[in-house]
Every structure is written in C-alpha cells, then in structure tokens.
C-alpha cells in the first residue's frame, strides 16, 4: 500500500474507495455494506464518504463487521452545502459520527466552496480538530480563490483538496498551486466519472486509445494505468467500484510503473473536459439536494 504524509504529519493511503452512489444514489443497506467488506478483505483501508452520499451507516456497519481495529481505517466524510456555517457544521459532524458509529474522523472536508459561509464553517471544523474529533481538515472542489480566502484567517492549514481530476481534466494550474502550498491533491472520478453522471463510456478516458495501448504495454487494465498515473504524481485516488474484479484490480497496482514519457503522454490528453459539477455554478443546485437523516 502507498501512503502520503499530509502537512500535519498524518499519513493517508494513496488508494481508497469512493462511496458516492454505491448501488444507487443514497442507498444505505446490506448491499453497500457487503461491497465495503469485499474491499476491506482485499486490503482497502481508506474509505471516502459524505453526509450527502447517504451511506455512512453502511460504512459504519462494515467497519464493525470486519473485526479490524478502528485505527487501521482512514475514514473521510464531508459537510454538505446545506450544513455549512457555525453550529450547523458542528451538528452535521456529530450526525456523521453517529451514523458511522465512530468517536473521530481521520479527515473532514468542506464538500463544495460556499464563500459566504467558508469562515464560520472552517472555524467550526478547527474547533473539532482541536478537540481531536478530526485528525485532519481539508477541502473539496475548492478553487484557488477559495483557498486564498481560507489562508487569510485559518489557524489550521488545510491538508488536502479533493477535486475532479482525470486524463481529460488535469487541472494542472490548480494542482501546482495546491502542491506549492503543501495541500495534497485527491482525485474524485479519477477514471472519468461514474454511471451516475450520465456520461457515455465512449467519452471517458478509460476507453481512450492512448490509455488502451499503454494498458497492453504494461499488461494492466486501463483503470490501473490511470490510477498509477496519479499515484506516481503523488496524488490520492478514490475510485468507485462495486464488482469484485474492479475492486481488486483498482487496488493492486504494484506490479508496474509508467515511464516518465508515458506520464507526459497521458498529461497531454487533457482537454479541460469536466464531467461533474463546476464550483462556479453548482451551489444553487446543491442547495436543492437533501442530506438524508
């Protein structure tokens, strides 16, 4: 397993499992628990959920049923747009812990930037950090301007920015900015977005001929090539998978390394093609989405 040391000294696995829309959107039942248990058996320890995903309880059950000690896991959750701001953030965090049946989170993120609430949301999170209820604090989908806003007042430095990043959308200027400021990059939709997005497979980097050719060259799957492209550039990946073979191959990445030339070739596939929400415009729609109880 690969690890990255965050700027506060906490270590995070580089490969984890993203849990958005496991099964279906906000599904929270034994099926989801079973998928997570399969991943735990293969070796996954980083699980990335959010209050909005509606499956924190299924993750909590899987951790309990695994029989593994709590400290072996790295659990990330996120505060949704409707939960941002002072006491609302404290309440949202407490509900996440309750659903997960945990005493603390390893990483707590602001799911999307809402600049009007960023300061009081972050200060609430800083209080949770000081109380040792969260081992690290971070951001998701934050633009450079949003990070600059936090830098102006934050006492606790963000450790991570989780962003949409795949070979068709590399966000290199933002990545460079974050890495310069010692903010690690985590990639959601690292394979180019899940079925929930409605993006046809033919438009995703998973089926790009360049990626397919490299997969043949390294006797790997296209997904493994893309994930390794991220790993070798010191990024964290949380691909979603439900089928056992995908769960397994996404995790087992140690058999090969891409050449520097191949990494640059994949970098050059960038065409600024965003599959998910754009932080410039998504907030109004986000406010219509409900966090389940």
- Residues 171-199 have pLDDT tens digits of 999 999 999 999 999 999 999 866 566 78
CA distance 270 to 4: 25
- Residue for token pair 């596939």: 269
User: Under CATH, to which class is 3-286 assigned?
Assistant: alpha beta
Average pLDDT of the segment spanning 8-28: 96
- What pLDDT shows up at residue 14? 97
More confident residue, 254 or 154: 154
Q: Looking at residue 22, what is its pLDDT?
A: 94
* pLDDT of 208 above 80: yes
Both tokens of 179, joined, read 């890495």
What pLDDT does residue 27 have? 95
**The pLDDT value given to residue 200:** 82
Q: Which of 80, 52, 75 is nearest to 62 (CA)?
A: 75
Average confidence (pLDDT) over 60-74: 98
Q: Out of 34-38, 58-62, 164-168, 250-254, pick the least confident.
A: 250-254
Residue 203 pLDDT class (50, 70, 90 cuts) = confident
* pTM confidence score: 0.95
Q: What share of the chain is helix, strand, coil (3-state, %, to 5)?
A: 45, 15, 40
Report the interhelical angle of 244-251 vs 222-231 (nearest 10°): 40
Domain boundaries, the chain: 3-286
Distances (CA, A) of 79 to 27, 94, 145, 151, 189: 18, 11, 20, 19, 19
Q: What is the pLDDT of residues 87-135, one digit of tens each?
A: 999 999 999 999 999 999 999 999 999 999 999 999 999 999 999 999 9
Tell me the per-residue pLDDT of 249-268, one tens digit each, with 9 for 90 and over.
999 998 899 999 999 999 99
- Structure token digits, residue 246: 């995908």
Measured CA to CA, the distance from residue 4 to residue 2 in angstroms comes to 7
* pLDDT the model gives residue 196: 60
**Annotated catalytic sites, by residue?**
53
- CB-facing half-sphere around the CA of 268: CA atoms within 13 A: 7
Per-residue confidence at 289, pLDDT binned at 50, 70, 90?
very high
Residue 69, pLDDT above cutoff 80: yes
Q: How many CB atoms lie within 10 A of CB 99?
A: 21
Contact 33, 22 (CB under 8 A): no
Q: Percent of the chain scored above 70 by pLDDT?
A: 98
- Tokens standing for 191? 């394979």
What φ, ψ does residue 127 adopt, rounded to 5°?
-65, -40
């Amino acid at each position: 397993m690969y690890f990255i040391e965050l700027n506060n000294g906490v270590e995070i696995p580089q490969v984890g499992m993203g849990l958005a829309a496991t099964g279906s959107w906000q599904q929270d039942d034994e099926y989801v628990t079973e998928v997570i248990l399969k991943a735990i058996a293969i070796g996954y320890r980083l699980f990335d959920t959010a209050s909005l995903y509606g499956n924190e309880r299924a993750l909590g059950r899987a951790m309990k049923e695994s029989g593994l000690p709590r400290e072996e896991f790295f659990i990330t959750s996120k505060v949704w747009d409707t939960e941002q701001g002072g006491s609302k953030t404290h309440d949202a965090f407490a509900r996440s812990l309750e659903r997960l049946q945990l005493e603390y989170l390893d990483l707590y993120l602001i799911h999307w930037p809402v600049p009007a609430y960023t300061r009081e949301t972050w200060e609430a999170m800083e209080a949770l950090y000081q109380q040792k209820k969260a081992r690290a604090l971070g951001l998701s989908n934050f633009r450079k301007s949003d990070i600059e806003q936090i830098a102006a007042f934050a006492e606790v430095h963000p450790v991570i920015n989780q962003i949409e990043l795949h070979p068709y959308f590399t966000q290199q200027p933002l990545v460079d900015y974050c890495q310069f400021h010692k903010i690690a990059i985590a990639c959601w939709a690292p394979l180019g977005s899940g079925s929930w997005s409605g993006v046809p497979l033919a438009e995703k980097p998973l089926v790009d001929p360049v990626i397919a050719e490299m997969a043949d060259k390294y006797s790997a799957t296209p997904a493994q090539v893309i994930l390794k492209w991220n790993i070798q550039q010191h990024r964290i990946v949380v691909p979603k998978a439900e089928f056992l073979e995908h769960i397994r191959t996404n995790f087992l990445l140690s058999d090969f390394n891409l050449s520097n030339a191949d990494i640059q070739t994949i970098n050059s596939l960038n065409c600024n093609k965003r599959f998910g929400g754009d932080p410039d415009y998504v907030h109004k729609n986000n406010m219509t989405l409900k966090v389940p109880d």
